[in-house]
Amino acid sequence: MTDSYNSRVGDLSPSPNGYANGTSPSLTQSNNAGISPVIRKKLMGYVGFANLPNQVHRKSVRKGFQFTTMVVGESGLGKSTLINTLFNTPLYPPKEPLPPSAERPKTVAIESIGADIEENGVRLHLTVVDTPGFGDFVNNDDSWRPIVENIESRFDSYLEQENRVNRQKIVDNRVHACLYFIQPTGHSLKQLDIEFMRRLHTRVNLIPVIAKADTLTDEEIVAFKARILADIAHHNIHIFQAPSYENEDEETLAEAEEIASKIPFAVVGSDNVVDTNDGRQVRGRAYPWGVIEVDNEEHCDFVKLRQMLVRTYMEELREYTNDVLYENWRSEKLLSMGVAQDSSVFREINPSAKIQEERILHEAKLSKMEAEMKMVFQQKVQEKESKLKQSEEELYARHKEMKDALDKQRADLEDKKRRIESGRPLTPEKNTTKNRRFLR
Ligand SMILES: Nc1nc2c(ncn2[C@@H]2O[C@H](COP(=O)(O)OP(=O)(O)OP(=O)(O)O)[C@@H](O)[C@H]2O)c(=O)[nH]1
């Protein structure tokens, strides 16, 4: 596909003098068998479509972006603090401690907070979906269920908007990423973590994070990460991976590898600014023995997490949600409703094979018609033959009947003749006037 596309379009990138790949304009023809020749042209001057990426950029900036992230994890793992730290804005107001008498909810709730944030003129409508209550009950078996239902209802709402007559203003409320907070136990994943990820990985981009990583030593973090990754692999859980493309420059590839090597991200969150021993002011957590800096890559993986979620792969997260997760859910839903996809509609068609296929079908149709006509003809002939045979038999029977009658008549006459010749009188009753006249 790429080869034929390239051979048809040619290299149209403008050279510094304005011409594409050369100094003079010329026409060449590609002559691929089966494909009509396409004229390859070299530009005679600057046309301007090299500016297309800038047009897209301007349009996107004007429209702004929508991004929805979900945070899931047991209570007190630092979810709100991390979101505030990630987007550098107090999205979550400071929490009031619950009075001891207050009744705690008995199910997982779903709450969302929306905010419009702007950076260098780019507007982002950010929605954070929180799941208070997750993992906080004595029995957490079904903690994942309301979360899956919420994610699917967002897919439903998107599908409903896509099916509207007017699709000008589609609001994308789908969850583009889910930060799953793992308790910093240092052991391995808990059953609750595995169950949640197993249920959710086909519906949302999972990004596992080790919460409050400052409570573990560097060695503990390395060992804990290895055990988490082993568990994830063992249960065939798909977590979001930074994609890498062909022909990508070394720097981008190295960045993707670096990010991938940090998963699950061991993070520390803080929206407080603290003073370091060397007199700097940083976002971090101050301890008697020193300061943990949130934005220092030597202290935690917060920077790499932000790179994956916001700086480098936000668009990839949105794209994967739309092209893979939503698309799979949509097909499953339509199939369950009995709507089947006719795959032949999308089959690539070779015109000569198509003509050949049609000719074979046409010939088969013709020979079928011929056979049918033959059959009808034979049937008619048979009917005619049996009719003829029947009338022949009837004629024969009538002929026989008449012949018998004539024979009988002749025998009678001969008998009478003999009687007359022998002088024997005819029987009295037969000696009628008629007979007498006959004898005279
Ligand atoms: N040591 C440590 N404490 C943290 C960290 N992040 C947050 N905290 C503290 O943990 C406590 C709970 O943080 P929250 O951000 O409210 O946690 P949450 O998960 O949103 O809690 P819920 O709203 O109850 O689900 C607060 O006292 C935070 O200051 C961290 O990275 N390390």
- For ligand 1, whether the C-beta of 232 sits within 6 Å is no
Q: What is the mean pLDDT of residues 5-22?
A: 40
User: 50-65 pLDDT, tens per residue?
Assistant: 888 888 888 878 888 8
Does residue 218 carry a pLDDT above 80?
Answer: yes
pLDDT at 99: 64
CA 348 to chain centre: 18
- For ligand 1, whether the C-beta of 85 sits within 6 Å is no
pLDDT at 167: 80
- Taking CA atoms only, the protein residue closest to ligand 1 atom 3 is 212
- Taking CA atoms only, the protein residue closest to ligand 1 atom 8 is 78
Q: What is the mean pLDDT of residues 399-418?
A: 94
Orientation of helix 145-162 relative to helix 191-200, angle to 10°:
10
Comparing 118 with 183, the larger pLDDT belongs to 183
> Residue 117's pLDDT band (boundaries 50, 70, 90)?
confident
Q: What is the mean pLDDT of residues 30-57?
A: 72
Burial 165-195 (b: 16+ CB within 10 A, else e): eeeeeeebbbbbbbbbbbbbeeeebbebbbb
| DSSP class of 20 | B
To the nearest whole percent, how much of the chain has pLDDT over 70? 82
- For ligand 1, whether the C-beta of 135 sits within 6 Å is no
Q: What is the mean pLDDT of residues 100-129?
A: 78
Task: Give residue 130 CA to ligand 1 midpoint distance, Å.
Answer: 14
Place of tokens 């889910």: 178
Task: Give residue 381 CA to ligand 1 midpoint distance, Å.
Answer: 97
Q: What is the mean pLDDT of residues 351-372?
A: 90
pLDDT at 428: 56
Of ligand 1's listed atoms, the one at least distance from the Cα of 132 is 25
CA 91 to chain centre: 35
pLDDT at 21: 42
Cα(196)–Cα(141) distance, integer angstroms? 9
> Residue 176's pLDDT band (boundaries 50, 70, 90)?
very high
- Give the 3-state secondary structure of 154-200: HHHHHHHHHCCCCCCCCCCCCCCEEEEEECCCCCCCCHHHHHHHHHH
Q: What is the mean pLDDT of residues 339-350?
A: 67
- Judging by DSSP bridges, how do beta strands 290-293 and 65-72 pair with one another? unpaired
* Predicted complex ipTM exceeds 0.90: yes
Of ligand 1's listed atoms, the one at least distance from the Cα of 213 is 31
Task: Give residue 212 CA to ligand 1 midpoint distance, Å.
Answer: 8
> Residue 124's pLDDT band (boundaries 50, 70, 90)?
confident
Q: What is the mean pLDDT of residues 145-169?
A: 90
Q: What is the pTM of this model?
A: 0.68
Is there a contact between 302 and 207 (Cβ–Cβ < 8 Å)?
no
- For ligand 1, whether the C-beta of 271 sits within 6 Å is no
Place of tokens 């078996």: 141
pLDDT at 211: 94
Two structure tokens written together for 216 = 């573990």
Is there a contact between 290 and 277 (Cβ–Cβ < 8 Å)?
yes
> Residue 214's pLDDT band (boundaries 50, 70, 90)?
very high
pLDDT at 187: 87
- For ligand 1, whether the C-beta of 282 sits within 6 Å is no
pLDDT at 219: 93
Task: Give residue 21 CA to ligand 1 midpoint distance, Å.
Answer: 58
Cα(195)–Cα(199) distance, integer angstroms? 6
Cα(295)–Cα(96) distance, integer angstroms? 27
Does residue 186 carry a pLDDT above 90?
Answer: no
- For ligand 1, whether the C-beta of 284 sits within 6 Å is no
CA distance to 49, 52, 55, 405, per residue, from 59 (Å): 15, 11, 6, 113
User: 238-274 pLDDT, tens per residue?
Assistant: 999 877 777 778 888 888 888 889 999 999 999 889 9
- For ligand 1, whether the C-beta of 133 sits within 6 Å is no
- For ligand 1, whether the C-beta of 214 sits within 6 Å is yes
CA dihedral 289, 291, 297, 303 (to 10 degrees): 140
Does residue 234 carry a pLDDT above 50?
Answer: yes
> Residue 16's pLDDT band (boundaries 50, 70, 90)?
very low
Q: What is the mean pLDDT of residues 367-396?
A: 95
Q: What is the mean pLDDT of residues 293-322?
A: 90
